[in-house]
Structure 1
């Protein structure tokens, strides 16, 4: 006979403390993705899109705009929420990290000025970006963005209304 206990099950916490941003720029009628080569300790030398933490009192979309500005110097974008989430499991701290993914359309004349977090950048085709993506799952997010934001016009309901002060 099997003995069952009513002990509570162990859970793995989910932390949503950051954002991810995929920037798109049109070259010769085709959208390209901004990929950055990491210079810091985490994922050193790997290609990623923009990402980072949400500061106290900040909305996720505000963090997305701030991270774009800090990491690339780009300030003029049309920002959308993608309805996708970057996620991974941290075995060291035993939690699941989740971050909402935003998509930003950048004007052709915007130039990139990297900060200390990255050593290089490239505007890649979606195929190049998926091939060079640092971690599994990033390629899936890029495929989703390509399908819903590069190959067709996204729903107006996903656009973030940025109010200028």
Structure 2
């Protein structure tokens, strides 16, 4: 490569998190999907997502976003050991976010904030067919295999002492 050639790189940006909430309904795990009502992804059905604030760990951001977006504050949280990712052609970067899995007790009810217009608890197969963004279906299939069909590894559990 000569000195006159320019190397162009697409940066990877990791400033957010994603959370898949699971709740048992009639002995079957259901996935929470929310319908976005905002400038970004308006009308899209997706799982919970949000930004990591200054000084926060990713897991702390996940718990905060769960509470802000759903009103639920009691969750058993795991790292999914997976990343949500997409390429932004407008801003020219690859966005990556660690995915978390939260188990919610059946007595907890969702209270949406202003960012969403609707929600659904769906069996995983139906959630896979409902999500809007390509790649979300793959994340949900992974969650099904490793967090619904199997008991998750204790190594992935997020301690309550954050």
What TM-score do the two structures reach when normalised by structure 2?
0.96
Partner SS state of residue 124, structure 1: strand
The aligned runs of 1:146-161 (5 Å cut-off) are: 146-161=144-159
Unaligned runs of 5+ in 1: none
2:145 and 2:120 map into 1 onto residues whose CA distance is: 21
* Residue equivalent to 1:5: 2
2:137 paired residue number: 139
Q: In angstroms, what is the RMSD of aligned CA positions?
A: 1.1
Among candidates 114, 127, 138, match of residue 116 of structure 1? 114
2:110 alignment partner, SS class? coil
Specify the alignment match of 1:22 in structure 2. Answer: 20
Between 55-64 and 41-50, the greater mean CA deviation after superposition: 41-50
Q: Distance in 2 between matches of 1:43 and 1:127?
A: 22
Tell me if structure 2 keeps the 8 A contact 1:43–1:134: no
- Structure 2: where are the runs of 5+ without partners? none
- Matched position secondary structure for 2:2: coil
Matched residue, 2:73: 75
| Match of residue 63, structure 1, among 43, 53, 61 | 61
What is the CA distance between 1:119 and its match in structure 2? 0.5
Tell me how far 1:41 sits from its aligned partner: 1.5
Shift of 1:10: 1.1
1:8 Cα deviation after fit:
5.1
Partner of 1:48: 46
Match of 1:98 in 2: 96
Distance 1:43 1:13 in 2: 22
How many residues align? The count is: 161
Q: TM-score, normalised by structure 1?
A: 0.95
Q: CA deviation at 1:129?
A: 0.8
